[in-house]
Amino acid sequence: MRCFQGERLRGRRPVGARRPAGTPVALLAAGLFLLAAGEARGVQSAALKEIRGQYEGLDLRLRVDLARMTGAKAPNVVGLDGIGHGREGAPILFGRMDRVYLERIVNDGANRVELTVYASREEANRLRASNIPQPSMSNPNLGQTLASFAQLSSTSVVLELKADKRDPDGQRREIETLLDRIFYLKSEPTVDELYDFVRQHPGLSIQRLRDLTGLDSATIRGLIEEKPAASPSPASP
What integer pLDDT is reported at residue 218 of this predicted model? 96
* Integer CA distances (angstroms), 151 to 6, 41, 78, 89, in order: 76, 32, 23, 18
Are residues 216 and 138 part of one domain?
no
203 C-beta neighbours (distance < 10 Å), count:
7
Three-state SS for 114?
strand
Q: Is the pLDDT of residue 23 over 70?
A: no
Number of domains in the chain: 2
**How many CB atoms sit inside 10 A of residue 94's CB?**
21
Same domain, 93 and 166: yes
90 and 136, same domain (yes or no): yes
* 28 part of a folded domain: no
**Residue, of 144 and 107, whose pLDDT is higher:** 107
Residue 73 lies in a domain: yes
Is the pLDDT reported for residue 142 higher than 90? no
pLDDT at 34: 41
* Edge-first strand listing for the sheet containing 154-160: 58-61, 99-107, 112-118, 154-160, 76-79, 82-85
Confidence (pTM) = 0.70
Residues 144 and 212 in one domain: no
The CA distance from 198 to 204, in Å, is 9
Other C-beta atoms lying within 10 Å of the C-beta of residue 232: 6
The verdict on 73 and 175 lying in the same domain is yes
Quick: pLDDT tens for 44-81: 788 899 999 999 999 999 999 999 887 667 889 999 99
Let me know if residue 34 belongs to a domain.
no
β-pair type (112-118, 99-107):
antiparallel
Q: What is 24-93 written as a DSSP string?
A: HHHHHHHHHHHHHHHHHTSS-HHHHHHHHHHHTTEEEEBSS-EEPP-SSS-SEEEETTEEEESSTTPPEE
Least trusted range by pLDDT, from 9-23, 110-124, 190-204: 9-23
Residues 109 and 79 in one domain: yes
Q: Which helix (H) or strand (E) holds 223?
A: helix 217-225
Report residue 226's pLDDT band, with 50, 70 and 90 as the boundaries: confident
pLDDT at 179 over 90: yes
C-alpha atoms less than 13 angstroms from C-alpha of 20 in its C-beta half-sphere: 5
Torsion of CA 24, 29, 35, 37, to 10 degrees: -150
Instruction: Print the domain residue range for 97.
Output: 45-182
Count of other CB atoms within 10 angstroms of residue 160: 18
146 within some domain:
yes
What average pLDDT does the chain have?
Answer: 78
Give the confidence band of 166 by pLDDT, cuts at 50, 70, 90.
confident
Give pLDDT, residue 52. 95
Measure Cα distances from 23 to 11, 35, 97, 153, 204 in Å.
20, 18, 62, 55, 71
pLDDT of 8 over the 80 cut = no
**Within a domain: residue 19?**
no
CB 58 within 8 A of CB 138: no
Asked if residue 158 has pLDDT above 80, the reply is yes
